[in-house]
């Protein structure tokens, strides 16, 4: 009986040790990268007509920039998040150096640290980080020449900006 108890103690110690190591393996120190979609941007012939069409037929609450989708972040149902949908004029240069007709904006955390890591990984950084009250932005290129916008949002300020413009969100 003592051998069985001893073996169970060793087994339990091993399992608890493995669980502790897994819980403390430094994953909290690893850089979290993309946390969600911040926006979808695309080129079209007439952005105003496109916004009107999506408003009339699909119910998006549009403004001069497109539409903002409001949602709640993960398990914290008190913390709002936002994603932007924006049609751009087909002649826009905003997507350059990409020649594609779309650009995706990804929400990220710790943009400054992330950009340093991306530089180490030889990712093309298109511009410098720009800061606004509603967040920080930078553009990178993927391996197929798609320009990507990274956004470290300040959702509280983003919501204030929308309210100051008297804009409704699409929920």
pLDDT at 33: 84
Q: Which two tokens stand for residue 132?
A: 């606004």
The two structure tokens encoding residue 170: 């699409």
Q: How many residues does the chain have?
A: 171
- Give phi and psi for 99, each to the nearest 5: -105, 10
Model pLDDT for residues 12-23, shown as the tens digit of each residue: 555 545 455 444
Q: Which pLDDT band holds residue 95 (cuts at 50, 70, 90)?
A: very high
List the structure tokens of 138.
Answer: 């930078």
Whole-model pTM above 0.75? yes
**Mind listing the pLDDT tens digit for each residue in 106-127?**
999 999 999 999 999 999 999 9
Pairwise CA distance, residues 100 & 93, whole Å: 11
Residue with tokens 């413009």: 165
Cis bond upstream, residue 97 (ω within 30): yes
Give the span between the Cα atoms of 19 and 37, in whole angstroms.
Answer: 32
Mean pLDDT in the chain?
A: 85
Which residue has tokens 């087994």?
Answer: 11
Chain-centroid distance, C-alpha 66: 18
Picking from 114, 119, 121, 168, the residue whose alpha carbon sits closest to that of residue 137 is 114
């Amino acid at each position: 009986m003592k051998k069985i108890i001893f073996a169970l103690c060793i087994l339990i110690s091993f399992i608890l040790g493995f669980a502790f190591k897994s819980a403390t393996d430094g994953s909290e120190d690893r850089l979290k990268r993309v946390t969600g979609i911040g926006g979808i941007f695309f080129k079209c012939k007439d952005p105003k007509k496109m916004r009107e069409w999506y408003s009339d037929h699909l119910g998006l609450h549009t403004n001069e920039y497109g539409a903002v989708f409001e949602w709640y972040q993960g398990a914290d149902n008190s913390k709002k998040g936002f994603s932007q949908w924006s049609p751009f004029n087909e002649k826009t240069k905003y997507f350059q150096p990409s020649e594609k007709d779309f650009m995706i904006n990804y929400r990220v955390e710790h943009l400054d640290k992330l950009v340093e890591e991306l530089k180490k990984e030889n990712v093309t950084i298109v511009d410098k980080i720009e800061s606004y009250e509603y967040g920080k932005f930078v553009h990178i290129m993927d391996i197929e020449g798609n320009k990507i916008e990274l956004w470290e949002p300040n959702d509280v300020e983003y919501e204030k900006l929308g309210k100051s413009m008297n804009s409704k969100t699409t929920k």
